[in-house]
Structure 1
Amino acid sequence: MIGHLCHVAGKSDPTLVLDRRALPTDERELISTLLVARDWLADRHGAGVTTIAMIEPSADPVFDLDYQFAQYLPGSPSGFELRGSCGHSILSSVAVAQRLAWLPRHGAASRLHVNVLNTGDRVSCEVSGAGGSLTFGVEFGYHPPRRLGDLLPTGFAQDDLDGMPVSLVSAGNLHVFVDAAGLGLHDQEALFAADASMRRRLTGLRRAAARRLGLPDDSVFPRVAAVGQYEYRRLAVLSLPAPARPGPLPPADAITVAAAAVIDGTIAHQLAQRAWSRLDELVVDTPGGTTVARTAVSGTGLDDTLTRVGVRRGTVRYEGSIFVEPLRDLMLAPGRVPAPCMN
């Protein structure tokens, strides 16, 4: 089977992009197959791949591409998480699909539409650039618009976990938000320098949230985010699990922070109000940089709706194709390979 490796600026490891149509449809068999591919790549190409994108041209005329995300879970036994989403791997997917001529040739203002099978999100990518490097603007859209109350998995803007007030919000990715000041982190330097004991405490909250929602507590979802308000019109966020190399918030995480900030009563909303933040253009600092999320909502009440969230531009570099030898028998049947799109 032929795979493709792409690297997004700000992300430490490449994404492996595979043709979804050649992969098993059964979840257990799929995870087993992805583990074989990941371990083989790790043995031959350094640190290994932690994210895999599985793509195919969409049969739905509304979309250009169907995309499924898999996040590697180290441990014993290791595995893959098929919940959630990753904006970086979406960008990699579009870059590969462009290179394979599955998509219309892009112009100065081309917009490509991706169907995120894991979450039901509709992602629009504005593409520019040529050759081995492409730059994207990313917008997560909701059609029809999402009711803000439906983004709260428990139905409440705040819940209590282990004696700590938290907000559980599910937009791009499921998150549990906690006020950094309630953890004794009273300035941005202290938040970003959180020691091992503080990270264990945050991880404990994440696992408690997973149990509350009936999810495996060793999953990467929900993510946990400690949110601080230390500067005018800015929020500071420390999110776990953290990437190997710090960077700005990944797009799928950024839209969850932005969505949480507009829902009345959540911890993120209370802190954004304290900062006098613009909720339609939220500025978020992280240990690895700053993200600006632009949000379109009808209001902040539970019955108001979210239409879209646009996040920072990302640059993708195509690293090349690779024959994944242990998956050599996974080939498309004749007639299933799409004809190149000549639009």
Structure 2
Amino acid sequence: MNVSLARAHGAPCPTAVLDGRAFPESEPQLLDALADLRAELSVQGAGDVLKNAIVRPSRHPLFDLDYRFVQSLPDSHDSFDLRGSCGHSILAAVEAAARTGMIQPLVPGCRVRVNVLNNGDNVVCETEETSDGGTRFTAHFLCSPPLRMPELLMTGDPVTAVPFDGSIVPVSLVSMGNPYAFVDASHLGVSGPGALFADDPLLFDAMRRLRVAVCESLGWDTFGAFPKIAALLPQEGGGLYVRAVSVPSWHPTVALTGAICLGAAAGIEGTVPWSLSGRKAAQDTDALLPVRTPGGSVRVAAHSTYGSDGEHRLAWVSVAEKQVEYRGLLPRLRRPAPQKAFAAPLASVRPSSDHVSEETPWVPLTA
């Protein structure tokens, strides 16, 4: 079994990129194979690798790669979350697929179209610059057809009141790329960016408990990593300071899907990101959104349009200048039993007997 390692700058760990043509189709067998792989990675000194990208050449004529993300959880070697995606791992997967000959070599200007089986996302990874050690990309998350902005709100409301520690905390629950809970950091006792970016275990604990409180108040499963949570503060002159929680610690920057989700949320009137980012005053939902994190800054561009019904719709969100480092193939690992077909999208967290496979729908890429 070929396993490549690649790491996008700003990601909390490398991604193990796996050839999906060699992996089992059924969910229990897939998870068993991943548990065996995780144990072998630990023996090889790669126990910190908690992200898995399973890829294969796409059977869909509009895509180059089919991609599935599986998050390893720190509880045990057989503990996983299959519900969300990872933008940094998408870029790592494209890098590894090109280096190992699964897709064409990357050259400046080329675009690799990725079909995300976890959630149906369409992602275009555009090569900016290549070198012997890695590639710099712009990632475009497409909405095809463009989505009504309110459809991104997980509860239908821009702000949801969540009971927490004896008070009510307003939280925006938005799903674009991945589901996120966005909260004004001042509601957690944070007074400024210095306090937000400090390695404060009390703040970390408060954010983890708030995520659980969000799930419990809405009757959602608290197990796993989703929805993710991020605390925000306004930047002077517009933009946001962001601190996010990853698995199992602080995120060193912010997930690529987190930046994508934040850019989309900032364009929805009434959300926490919209209120704090200065969009209310600017009245420009398509302006570049500066996002500053403990590990650096990114700029997010969200492009919206208006449908024939006059409603505001999101067409795509892009994040540029994302560098990926290719770390090469690991020593040959034990190969799982080959299967005839790549597994259909996995929606559950743990193996379940009621999972029903469905064909990935045809989705045009034009926006």
TM-score (norm 2): 0.83
1:306 to 302, 314, 330: 314
Residue matched to 1:217: 222
> Structure 1: 5+ residue runs without aligned partners?
334-343
Identity in percent: 37
Pairwise CA distance, 1:140 = 0.7
Pairwise CA distance, 1:315 = 1.9
- Is contact 1:235–1:275 with CA below 8 Å preserved after alignment? no
Residue matched to 2:355: none
- Show the 5 A alignment for 1:189-208: 189-193=194-198, 195-208=200-213
Within the alignment, does 1:170 sit opposite 2:175 as a pair? yes
Distance 1:245 1:10, change over 3 A: farther
Residue matched to 1:147: 148
Within the alignment, does 1:109 sit opposite 2:109 as a pair? yes
1:232 maps to a residue whose letter is G
**Distance (whole Å) between structure 2 residues aligned to residue 243 and residue 178 of structure 1:** 20
- Is contact 1:85–1:173 with CA below 8 Å preserved after alignment? yes
Pairwise CA distance, 1:104 = 3.3
Q: Point out the more displaced range, 23-32 or 117-126.
A: 23-32
Pairwise CA distance, 1:81 = 0.9
Deviations 1:106-144 (A, max 9, x none): 443111110111111111111131434222111111111
Residue matched to 2:325: 317
Q: Point out the more displaced range, 107-116 or 60-69.
A: 107-116
1:48 maps to a residue whose letter is D
**Distance (whole Å) between structure 2 residues aligned to residue 274 and residue 93 of structure 1:** 34
Query: Does the residue aligned with 1:42 lie in a helix, a strand or coil?
Result: helix
Within the alignment, does 1:292 sit opposite 2:299 as a pair? yes
Pairwise CA distance, 1:289 = 1.1
Within the alignment, does 1:35 sit opposite 2:35 as a pair? yes
Deviations 1:216-249 (A, max 9, x none): 3131111111111142112111111367675432
**Distance (whole Å) between structure 2 residues aligned to residue 295 and residue 194 of structure 1:** 31
Q: Point out the more displaced range, 232-241 or 213-222.
A: 213-222
- Is contact 1:11–1:245 with CA below 8 Å preserved after alignment? no
- Show the 5 A alignment for 1:225-236: 225-236=230-241
Deviations 1:135-180 (A, max 9, x none): 2111111111111111111111111111211110010111111111
Residue matched to 1:261: 266
Distance 1:275 1:148, change over 3 A: closer
Query: Does the residue aligned with 1:97 lie in a helix, a strand or coil?
Result: helix
Query: Does the residue aligned with 2:303 lie in a helix, a strand or coil?
Result: strand
1:318 maps to a residue whose letter is Y
Pairwise CA distance, 1:186 = 2.2
2:100 maps to a residue whose letter is L
Distance 1:70 1:324, change over 3 A: farther
Deviations 1:178-197 (A, max 9, x none): 11122222211122226222
Query: Does the residue aligned with 1:298 lie in a helix, a strand or coil?
Result: strand
Query: Does the residue aligned with 1:21 lie in a helix, a strand or coil?
Result: helix
- Is contact 1:177–1:267 with CA below 8 Å preserved after alignment? yes
Residue matched to 2:137: 136
Query: Does the residue aligned with 2:75 lie in a helix, a strand or coil?
Result: coil
**Distance (whole Å) between structure 1 residues aligned to residue 289 and residue 310 of structure 2:** 19
Distance 1:183 1:194, change over 3 A: farther
Deviations 1:66-109 (A, max 9, x none): 10001111115751111211111111111122123332344431
Distance 1:132 1:198, change over 3 A: closer
Residue matched to 1:184: 189
Residue matched to 1:339: none
Pairwise CA distance, 1:10 = 2.7
- Is contact 2:67–2:114 with CA below 8 Å preserved after alignment? yes
2:141 maps to a residue whose letter is F
Distance 1:106 1:75, change over 3 A: closer
- Is contact 2:25–2:339 with CA below 8 Å preserved after alignment? no
**Distance (whole Å) between structure 1 residues aligned to residue 230 and residue 147 of structure 2:** 22
